[in-house]
Structure 1
Amino acid sequence: MKLSLDALAMLDAIDSAGSFAAAARQLYRVPSALTHAVRRLEDDLGFALFERVGRRARLTPAGRTLLTDGRQLLAAANELECRARRVATGWEVELRIALNALLPFNALLPLIAEFDAQGHGTRLRFDHEVLAGSWDALSSGRADLVVGASGEALRESALVSRSLGNAVVLFCHAPDHPLAAVPEPLPTHEIRKHRAVVLADTTRTLQARSAGLISGQDALIVPDFSAKLAAQVAGLGVGHLPPCIAQPAIDAGQLVSRQTETGFSREPMHLAWRRSHDGRALQWFVQQLSTPHWRSQLQLQDA
């Protein structure tokens, strides 16, 4: 057989890393061995998989087609392995956790350490999601557990959700922004005159949502909260930020937090997972994250 799951994983690593050298580091192999393996695979298949563009490796059209469909095989094999392990031991090979970008990942580090100390061997994978992307990650299978699925709970019988409380965000702008001359509470019609900095919704299949954007307001759409913070500090726009991100900039005098006529903005947060997932690692995290202690650590307020 010319193609194997290991070969597909190798192609996936090279494409994701962008170069043979970077992929070799991820795979704990020397670059020359990786190059040789790809050339041997190309010889077996009878067509080129990569072309060199400077130091980067770019898939050929044939290679892209092979890897696009091959990633579905990799995902299916990973799911099969996870299901088999859950049947055998009850503990997942991997638990994929989607964390709402509003919530501080650092707050979960002690919880991760506590889980690791039990030695169950489950690999943890965290990703950030924004707005409807949280529910989409769960319903599409990108995540097994969502911490902070936002907005209204998705009404789908295959999913289970419970309220975690509300995430509070602060309306901020740079000290020299024109809104600094407007007295509090800031009227909505004054805010509308100025560009908002907003995160792109990470959903792939559900209808995208927006938050903190007033109808008719111009927007600068950025990929993450680091970019949003930098843009607001630079005076390129205004918008809401979670306290864990905004407070250091406020303390340093780079941003000011202002009251608006609509009051503090709160986003409902949920803990959500698929009803069919009965792995013990998921159950452990659900149990821990449902406690008042961890809701407090995630800076969530009661609904």
Structure 2
Amino acid sequence: MLDLETMRTFTKVVECNSFSKAAKLLYKTPAAISYRIKSLEDSLGTQLFERTTRTVSLTLAGQHLYERCCQWLAWLTTMPEELQQISDGVERRINIAINNLLFDPDAVADLLVHFKERFPFTQFNLTRQVYMGVWDSLLHGEFHMAIGATGWESLDNMINIYPFGEVSWEFVVAKNHPLTRINGKLSNDVLRNYPAINVEDTSTHMTKRIAWLLPGQSEIIVPSLKTKVACHLKGLGIGFIPKTICQPYVDKGELIKCDVVNERKPSQLSLAWKKANMGKVMNEIVGLFRNHHPITHPFLKNIDKKIS
């Protein structure tokens, strides 16, 4: 009903918008092309083309079939290489969660370019997660690896860990914020008068963590670290920002460091990956980080205390 030759004939008619033009390109007679398409429509019990004396156009059913035929023909073209890649131990799909603290769009793009050149038939899915959302994606989702799992110890004996180092935090406020006019260490009683700016933990199965929030303090939830910095700059609230991120703004006088009674401890981050079914792609990613390949450096730029 829908053999390879029929699919090629059908798609060529669509692309040429003409039976006669398609026939010329396929070295067939227009009658042969017309007969094959009519036989296809009869076998499907569905009209695929609207015909006039000069042109043909797709029906909605024809449009759907055309999209599917293009996918099938493309897959048939690459199928031998794709099967060979799978036979060689290359994963068909890799899902990677990236901690919000380490997420960098350019770094992600460069990593994808690197791997799509080497493993063109592997499908990559990379997402940004916050706090325990990183571990959640590994333990309760279909993710194979996490760049920036919290902690230096695995939460599961089926997941390997390679520690990166620590992200240090600075308590900062906008240059004109009222807190900048107070001398000495700022007490919790003073701080709770101003809203905390936080990025919400993306975990859905594990207990969410709150970055920093005092009892009785109001909170503003934002979608990303970049948004949190913007809110600090506009004086909307207070809180801790990674040292490497806030330092340029501190140097320009746009953000001011403040001493607070309870400093935030550094965040320990690691590369984490599932031991089961590791193929060539997973092994290479782990190798890139273990060997400190330059392509991994942008992911680690916010880690100011690295483990060598």
1:157 and 2:157 equivalent? yes
8 Å CA contact retained: 1:144, 1:277: no
8 Å CA contact retained: 1:197, 1:219: yes
**Gap regions ≥5 residues in structure 1:** 1-32, 42-83
8 Å CA contact retained: 1:173, 1:237: yes
1:211 and 2:235 equivalent? no
Aligned to 1:115: 115
8 Å CA contact retained: 1:131, 1:151: no
8 Å CA contact retained: 1:97, 1:144: yes
- For residues 55-98 of structure 1, give each alpha carbon's deviation from its aligned partner in whole angstroms, at most 9, with x where no partner exists: xxxxxxxxxxxxxxxxxxxxxxxxxxxxx887523112332211
Q: What's the offset of the Cα at 1:209?
A: 1.0
1:141 and 2:141 equivalent? yes
User: Partner of 1:211: helix, strand, or coil?
Assistant: coil
8 Å CA contact retained: 1:199, 1:228: yes
8 Å CA contact retained: 1:104, 1:244: no
8 Å CA contact retained: 2:188, 2:261: yes
Q: Which AA in structure 1 matches 2:60?
A: H
Q: Report matched runs for 1:1-303 at 5 Å.
A: 36=60, 88-105=87-104, 106-107=106-107, 109-151=109-151, 153-243=153-243, 245-263=245-263, 265-292=265-292, 297=298, 298-299=300-301, 300=303, 301-302=305-306
- For residues 123-147 of structure 1, give each alpha carbon's deviation from its aligned partner in whole angstroms, at most 9, with x where no partner exists: 3322110011000011123421101
Q: What's the offset of the Cα at 1:153?
A: 4.0
User: Partner of 1:91: helix, strand, or coil?
Assistant: coil
After TM superposition, the score normalised by the length of structure 2 is: 0.63
> % of aligned pairs identical?
28
- For residues 158-215 of structure 1, give each alpha carbon's deviation from its aligned partner in whole angstroms, at most 9, with x where no partner exists: 3222322112233221111121112354344432332110011100111111122234
Aligned length: 230
After TM superposition, the score normalised by the length of structure 1 is: 0.64
8 Å CA contact retained: 2:161, 2:270: yes
Q: What's the offset of the Cα at 1:111?
A: 4.4
Q: Which AA in structure 2 matches 1:271?
A: L
> Partners in 2 of 1:38 and 1:133 — Cα distance?
43
